[in-house]
Amino acid sequence: MAEITGSMVKSLREKTGAGIMECKSALAEANGDEANAVQILRKKGMATADKKSGRVTAEGAVGSYIHMGGKVGVLVEVNCESDFVARGEEFQQLVKDVAMHSAAVHPRYVRREEVPACELDKEREILREQLKNDPKNANKPADVLDKIIEGRINKYYEESVLLDQPFVKDPSKTIGELVTEKVASIKENITVRRFSRFKMGEGIEKKVDDFASEVASMVG
């Protein structure tokens, strides 16, 4: 068995936010392999999050992030169980990270359940037509095509759903996994409730001037 040093524990703590003994135990189980230890902690974190998922999250914080010189801004509400945790540095950093990520990546929904069924049906229809029009799929049975479509629907979730998106500061984990890690670390249930993203000028129809025609009318 590999020797578990203090520097190894420190490095794992910085990556996961888990406690000292949890990191030491995970490293021992992974025989000193940090990447495997991270996965072990994530799995344990998911189990912890599942146990806490039924708890009411009536406290929390609304955070903001303004990017690109005021051109993009986000408000996000993240909930927890107690005001004490809501005021803590670790929770506040999570709120900031979620707001910053939402500004950078532009999710449309918080979780998969929010995606309208009609939108998913439309996406599946488009994907099915694309597959039918590809000669490579001519002899593939329907069940194989269905599996391909569902795989691409998962990609759609990654692009559109906040909790499914790879975290912009660490793409090795999703926002959902980031929240799960914080549940395990903070020992309270945490939920991302909602967000609003604002982009300067979005939805406004801008006037496009024909500069060449304008000059021609002035001189002629």
The per-residue DSSP string of 38-76 comes to: HHHHHHHHHHHHHHHTTS---EEEEEEEEETTTTEEEEE
Q: Rounded to an integer, what distance in angstroms lies between the CA atom of residue 57 and that of residue 193? A: 10
Q: What is the pLDDT of residue 56?
A: 64
Give the pLDDT score at 213.
63
What is the residue-level pLDDT of the chain in tens, covering all 220 positions? Answer: 678 898 888 888 767 667 788 888 889 998 999 888 888 887 776 555 556 666 767 799 999 999 878 999 999 999 999 999 999 999 999 999 999 999 999 999 999 999 999 999 999 999 988 888 888 887 888 888 888 998 899 999 999 999 999 999 999 899 998 998 888 888 888 999 999 999 988 878 766 556 566 556 655 5
Q: In the structure encoding, which two tokens stand for residue 159, read together?
A: 């692009």
Whether residue 110 contacts residue 195, with contact meaning beta carbons closer than 8 Å, is answered with: yes
Return the closest-CA partner of residue 176 out of 88, 64, 103, 97: 97
Per-residue pLDDT, 210 = 61
The domain segmentation of the chain, as residue ranges, is 1-52, 116-158
pLDDT at 164: 95
Closest CA to 37 of 61, 54, 13: 13
pLDDT score for 41: 81
Q: 1-52 in CATH: which number?
A: 1.10.8.10
pLDDT of residue 89: 95
pLDDT at position 218 is 57
pLDDT at 81 (0 to 100): 92
Specify the pLDDT at position 54: 66
And the tokens for 136?
Answer: 């490579």
